[in-house]
Structure 1
Amino acid sequence: MLVQRTLKRMVSMKGTGLHSGQPVTVQLVPAPAGNGIVFQRTDLEGQPVIPAAYDRVVDTRLCTTLGMGEVRVATIEHLMSALYGVGVDNVQVCVDGPEIPILDGSSQPWIQAILEAGTRRQQRCRRLMVVRRAVTVRDGDAWARFEPSSRFRISARVDYDHPLISRHLFTFDFSELDFVQKIASARTFAFKREVEALRSMGLALGGSLDNAIVVDDFSILNPDGLRFVDEFVRHKVLDAIGDVALAGEKLVGHLVLHRSGHALNNQLLHAVFADARNYRLVSTERQSALPAHGVELPEAQTGLPTAVGA
């Protein structure tokens, strides 16, 4: 039996919004079993809440944004990836601004804070969303597909006309331990020319070499280089986990991505849930523990690798 988990104590993080460039504070507050992940705008009258759900996504340009009415919370994907990655099912995300801070551009700071706080088991079983039929969505030569598998696996391919990125394929069989070691520290990336264009439109005002990999036509501008030789595609896996975590269940299926991004990732969840024949929901109370979701992280393990070639 696999049970839900929440935090042992509150986690507080301060940082800068990627697009606004404004300071923002986030508190991750333990929540009861069955609560799920909920975002709360503490800076607004009434402190409105938005559930972390695929059908609450209102914008996927540059990041994933949740919304209800006029209320928005943007850039949620790295935090969602971290929560899924270490198995936190229930938490209230209290944020005093319109976007989650970018921190170092990866999930690593969230992971470290969560592991330091610790997690605790709750008296309710998890559910698994088991993919039963292959479902594909496309946009030009980019596509995303969920297909049946015995575990949660992600295969991502990037293909850029750039000498440093070019083509990379990365396949990742999900476990909490491997997420921490192989995915969590992969940073977001951008081309210098795109950053300049975004800033001219009043976007990416909080972006810097401290929270993103920036490349020009021939080189990586970050003085310390890459954390992995294939950090670009690993970050695509990180983003995808955060996006599909909005399914609200633990996943069993093979997620295959070809030049996919936030928009296609969200469209794929809509396509899967559009037909009940595509999936089934399974209570872990009646199922043996699957290896992809049975890994408990040691509480003392907070170190994350950054070596190139890992």
Structure 2
Amino acid sequence: MKFSRQTTLRSQATVTGVGVHSGIPVNLTIGPAPVDAGFIFVRTGLDDADREVPAIAESVIATDFATVLGDRQGPLVSTAEHVLAALRGMGVDNATIEVDGPEVPIMDGSAAAFVAAIDQAGIVTQSAARRFIQVLKPVQVSLGDSFGELRPHANGFRAEVEIDFANPVIGRQNYSLDLSPESFRREISRARTFGCMNDVARLWSAGFALGASFENSVVFDETRLLNTEGLRYSDECARHKVLDVIGDLALAGLPLLGAYRSSRGGHKLNHAVLTALMADRSAWRVVEAEPARRPRVEAGAGMVGGMVAPAYGPDVS
């Protein structure tokens, strides 16, 4: 991997927008975090004290319309996937994410504003070796017509996504990505969330998507794209699904070494596959990036794509 040490942000950066479901204005501030902290959401603006929730799979309490994180007292922050995708995609390991409302702001429907905030804050390396979760064997989940799989992959993380919508304007699309900060910035970060007009109307009537607009969503009817500015990519919908995959799988807590394939997937499927992986303790192990100056592999450790795999598995990590 390009970086052998963990990274965090040099300083804080703030973005302001509205929640896509609540329509409520919200401020989000990303900032530094110590080694091995991972991503920590801090919900501010509550009546009592601020509350923290780690961005891990165990903190997910809902996946119906977005990824919702919470604790025993209830939900804390919704629509977490885009900022998590930006942090993971840009190679950040540890960060705090302060949010003063119930949702991460939707911004323009993509991760571009969060990438810009990361650029503003700056990325710095830390003293500890970067750790990864290496997928050791395939893990598969089917939910109705949806299918998802994590499997071993020789180097880094790869996403392979297929979508197939009855809406003829969207139709079937495929997109694959080998994740790096460069590929995330160039190919994925600007892909916006999307939906069909009849679905949006149904969500409005149910009290959801109150902050949705043509400024933060790509919207189709049965015959055409309704956004006057057009698409950013011909396959923007499939690319946005890749963005969601990166954000949802960031809830592994560490970067993944593996390949993820999904068909007709979404947040619920992504979370189900990640949960299935973590539940099978023979399907993964924690490995560390090899320090650049280490001359050889010590006894009892194996090589994984230029990294040292320490002689411990998930049962003792």
TM-score by structure 1 length? Answer: 0.91
Q: Is the 8 A contact 1:73 1:98 kept in 2?
A: yes
2:121 matched to 1:112? Answer: no
Residue correspondence of structure 1 range 210-249 to structure 2 within 5 A: 210-249=215-254
Which SS does the other structure have where 1:276 is aligned?
A: coil
Which SS does the other structure have where 1:122 is aligned?
A: strand
Aligned residues: CA RMSD: 1.6
Aligned length: 292
Q: What letter corresponds to residue 6 of structure 2 in structure 1?
A: Q
Partner of 2:183: 178
CA distance in structure 2 between the partners assigned to 1:165 and 1:25 by the alignment: 33
CA distance in structure 2 between the partners assigned to 1:117 and 1:40 by the alignment: 18
Q: Cα gap change, 1:284/1:19 in structure 2, threshold over 3 Å: closer, same or farther? A: same
Displacement after TM superposition at 1:4 (Å):
0.9
Partner of 1:2: 4
Partner of 1:23: 25
Q: Is the 8 A contact 2:18 2:105 kept in 1?
A: yes
Q: Is the 8 A contact 2:68 2:75 kept in 1?
A: no
Measured against aligned partners, the alpha-carbon deviations of 1:38-86 in whole angstroms (never above 9, x if no partner) come to: 0111112120100000111000011000010224210000000000010
Q: Is the 8 A contact 1:48 1:71 kept in 2?
A: no
Partner of 1:140: 144
Q: Is the 8 A contact 1:186 1:234 kept in 2?
A: yes
Q: What letter corresponds to residue 147 of structure 2 in structure 1?
A: W
Partner of 1:61: 64
CA distance in structure 2 between the partners assigned to 1:265 and 1:198 by the alignment: 22
Which SS does the other structure have where 1:285 is aligned?
A: coil
Displacement after TM superposition at 1:285 (Å):
3.4
Displacement after TM superposition at 1:113 (Å):
1.6
Long gaps (5+) in structure 1:
293-310
Q: Is the 8 A contact 1:2 1:289 kept in 2?
A: no
Q: Is the 8 A contact 1:21 1:205 kept in 2?
A: yes
Which SS does the other structure have where 2:161 is aligned?
A: strand
**Mean CA deviation greater in 111-120 or 9-18:** 111-120
Displacement after TM superposition at 1:290 (Å):
5.1
Long gaps (5+) in structure 2:
292-296, 298-302, 308-317
Q: Cα gap change, 1:290/1:182 in structure 2, threshold over 3 Å: closer, same or farther? A: farther
Q: Is the 8 A contact 2:60 2:67 kept in 1?
A: yes
Please identify runs of 4+ aligned residues in structure 1 that moved more than 3 A: 285-292
CA distance in structure 1 between the partners assigned to 2:158 and 2:41 by the alignment: 27
Measured against aligned partners, the alpha-carbon deviations of 1:86-128 in whole angstroms (never above 9, x if no partner) come to: 0111111111111100000000111012112211011111111
CA distance in structure 2 between the partners assigned to 1:239 and 1:29 by the alignment: 22
Q: Percent identity?
A: 40
